[in-house]
Structures are given as structure tokens and as C-alpha cells.
Amino acid sequence: MTTSPIHRPSTSTATTPVGSAEQWPALNAPRCSAVRATAAKLIFHRAVKTLPVRVALPGGERIGAGGPGSPVMRIERPADFFRRLGADAKIGFGEAYMAGDWTSNDPAALLTPFAARMAELVPRPLQVFRRWVDARQPDHERNTVEGARANIHRHYDLSNDLFAAFLDDSMTYSSAWFAPGSDDLHEAQLRKIDGVLDLAGVRSGSHVLEIGTGWGALAIRAARRGARVTTLTISAEQKHLAEQRIEQAGLADRVQVLLRDYREAHGSYDAVVSVEMIEAVGADYWPDYFTTLDRVLKPGGRIGLQAITMPHDRLLATRRSYTWIHKYIFPGGQLLSVPAIHEAVHRHTGLTATESRSLGPDYARTLHHWRARFLDNWPQLTSNGFDETFRRMWEFYLAYCEAGFTSGYLDVVQLGLVKHHR
């Protein structure tokens, strides 16, 4: 496992990384009206009543339609739990887990039925009030060139050691693609990378642009095919470790890592690849992203794109909402839908989609591996300064995402695009 020295949270309020200790006082139960807390309790009871889960409250009360083998949610502090839901349900549910207001014997299994019924948890007549009760994404998290750097810093620059604790040896932080009959995460990650490279037609002699370096796994794999790679990242931590890994692989003469925003890309390339970077672009900048792909790709060139998607109707209903994931994990993030991708490609490029594949169930398996590794390796992270609230935050994050893919509410697609000769 390759690691680098730990980088502890900054004390600057402008750049405090997500998950740092400075955020924990905000987890005190928020003040909200008794009416909103009561309404949240009623909606929660109504939603849980028909779900295949068991919810246990102090004093022996039990709700939910689950049987003996169903996942259990234990609400330890009901008053604080419902105050958080009443203040902002999309943020409060996760904050309540971080604070210990509720626990579960299997959070991913518990959250899966909630994810499967996401559009129905709040009664339809009450959904019209979303515009007044949902928080909106703050302006300072918009993905301008400078804003994107700050957003990425808050997640990816927490610590390379943190990511090394739960990723496979390739340090790949995106969905794997498991071969039939195999549960080997490392092999599945390499298979996924090969799938993207194949969609982009990467071979010996290709000049490849990668948007979103990660820790260098795809660039290394492409270079081993005989390609020349220019790869862009806006994470200083990722650039440092990616360059180390590329050097150790003996491929420094074939791969150039640049600390550069995708909008600042220049040159002309035979192939462009981008794996789960588009989620950090933001809806306002989707035209810029796809225009860039078209601009830097040579006629006859191909693109391999991997993107997390959600149902189009849910995208339209929630695209301006500010959620727990935005606040604590991916500030400025926005998932697309498959129709949104095709619309952006059609409106802003001369590209044509050639083929696609769905890897949603593979992402659920990937996240299950990551969560198990994270919890197994947690003791080494505590010695580096991460606290129990941070552990609960990341456990909830990984379980929450696993539930999304297991339920089918989320998907991840690999898409091939081509730029025809004009």
C-alpha cells in the first residue's frame, strides 16, 4: 500500500477540509420549531411503516414492516433525531448518524429500502413545499475555476493515507467492473480501466488526455499500452502521489501530470478519458466540460467516459438542493442522468455516442469492499488524528452510496463517444 505523510486539517476557516474537528460543534442538535420536529416525526413514522426494516426506539416502541432478518435502526436519542430531521431532513438524517442519535447493525442494508422509495418518502402533497424548506447550494461552492479547486481540496486533499486505507493497490477511487465469478477488487478495477481505454481506442502510439488523474492508475495502464498520456488534476495531494507512482512504474517519460483545470486544457489528442470526474463539474458548467472534450479531440478520435447517474426526473426535482453529501463529502457536486449527458453532447459538441454499459451493481460491490476495508483499517487512521465522528461520517457516506446503487436509484455508466471527420 503506497502512502504519503498525513496532512492534518487546516485551521483556516476558508479551507477547512470536510471532516475536520472544527466542524463537530455544529453537530449539536439544532434549534428548530416544535412544529417542524413533530412534522418530521410524523413523516418518518409514515415512511417507515411499510418499509422492510425494524426501527427500535427507547422504551420498547417498534415500527417498520421488517421481520426478524431485516436490518435494524436503533434511535438512541429521539428528540435530537427528530429535531435534526425537522431542521433539514436531507442533511439532518446523516448528521444524526454522525452524532450517534441513531445506529444500525447494517447501515447499507437499512438505507437500501429508503433509497428504493426515495421519491415517495415525503407525501406528494407536501413535496410542493420543497422550494421553501430545502437548503440551496451556497454560491461559494459553485465550480468556477477557483471554486472547483477549493471544493476538490476539501475532499481529495484530506490525506492520501485515508484513501490508501480502503482502496485497492491501484488506488482507484471509482466503480470497479467485476468479471463473472470473481470478487477480486484489484482485478475488477483494472478491468474497469481497460474498459474505458478500449472505448477510447487507446493503443500504442496514442496521445491521450485524461481529465481527472486520481492517483495515476489509468495513466499508468494507458502508458503500459504504449500510449503517451497528459493527465490533469486540481488536487495537489493527488498530483504528488500520482507522480511518485508513475515514477515507480518506470513510466515518467510517457506520462505528464499537470495541476490544471479541465477548462485550461490545450492541445490536440487522439483520445480523451475521464472517469467519474464529471460529477464534480456542476450543472452550470456541463456545457464547458463537453465543449472542452470536443475542442481537444482530433477528428476521428474517441472518448471513454465513466459517470455516476440518477433518474432524470429526480435530477430535475433535486438539482438545486443542498444535501448531506454536499455539506460533508462532495461540495459543489452534481450527478447527471443519461438523458442529460446525451442532451449536453448533442447541444454542445459534434460528438456521437457509440456504445455504453451499466455498472450499477458493480458499484454496490465496490462500495461494500471499501466500507469493509475502511472499518478494518480504522485503527491506523485514529493514530493519524481522525476521530470517531469522522469514522461515522465516512461509514455513513460509503453505506449511503452502496444503498443507492443496490436499490437501483443510482447507476454508473461507461460511455464511448467519437468525433467524426468533417
The full set of domain ranges for the chain reads: 21-138, 140-419
DSSP 8-state class, residue 386 = -
Q: How many helices (H) and strands (E) does the chain have?
A: 18, 11
Q: Supply the pLDDT for residue 4.
A: 32
pLDDT (average), residues 11-26: 42
**Is the model more confident about 333 or about 158?**
333
pLDDT (average), residues 174-190: 98
Q: Is the pLDDT of residue 161 over 60?
A: yes
pTM across the whole model: 0.89
199-229: pLDDT as tens digits: 999 999 999 999 999 999 999 999 999 999 9
CB within 8 A of 95, min separation 6: which ones? 27, 84, 324
**Is the model more confident about 127 or about 353?**
353
Q: Supply the pLDDT for residue 122.
A: 55
Contact 75, 25 (CB under 8 A): no
DSSP 8-state class, residue 144 = S
Q: Supply the pLDDT for residue 134.
A: 62
Average pLDDT, the chain: 88
Q: Supply the pLDDT for residue 9.
A: 33
Q: Supply the pLDDT for residue 6.
A: 29
Rounded percentage of the chain residues whose pLDDT exceeds 70? 86
DSSP 8-state class, residue 402 = H
Q: Supply the pLDDT for residue 194.
A: 98
Q: Is the pLDDT of residue 3 over 80?
A: no
Q: Supply the pLDDT for residue 121.
A: 56
- CATH 3.40.50.12780 at 140-419, yes or no: no
Q: Supply the pLDDT for residue 157.
A: 65
The neighbouring-strand residues paired with 124 are none
Q: Supply the pLDDT for residue 11.
A: 30
pLDDT (average), residues 269-273: 98
**Is the model more confident about 130 or about 244?**
244
Q: How confident is the model at residue 317 (pLDDT cuts 50, 70, 90)?
A: confident
User: H-helix or E-strand containing 205?
Assistant: none
Q: Supply the pLDDT for residue 136.
A: 66
- The grid coordinates of residue 282 equal 456542476
Contact 337, 310 (CB under 8 A): yes
Q: Supply the pLDDT for residue 216.
A: 98
Q: Supply the pLDDT for residue 2.
A: 34
**Is the model more confident about 263 or about 17?**
263
Q: How many CB atoms lie within 10 A of CB 298?
A: 15
CB within 8 A of 383, min separation 6: which ones? none
Helix, strand or coil, per DSSP, at residue 77: coil
Q: How confident is the model at residue 160 (pLDDT cuts 50, 70, 90)?
A: confident
DSSP annotation string for 336-397: B-HHHHHHHHHHH-SEEEEEEEE-HHHHHHHHHHHHHHHHHTHHHHHTTT--HHHHHHHHHH
Contact 230, 213 (CB under 8 A): no
DSSP 8-state class, residue 321 = B
Q: Is the pLDDT of residue 163 over 50?
A: yes
Quote the CA–CA distance of 284 and 332 in Å, as a whole number.
11
Q: Is the pLDDT of residue 398 over 90?
A: yes
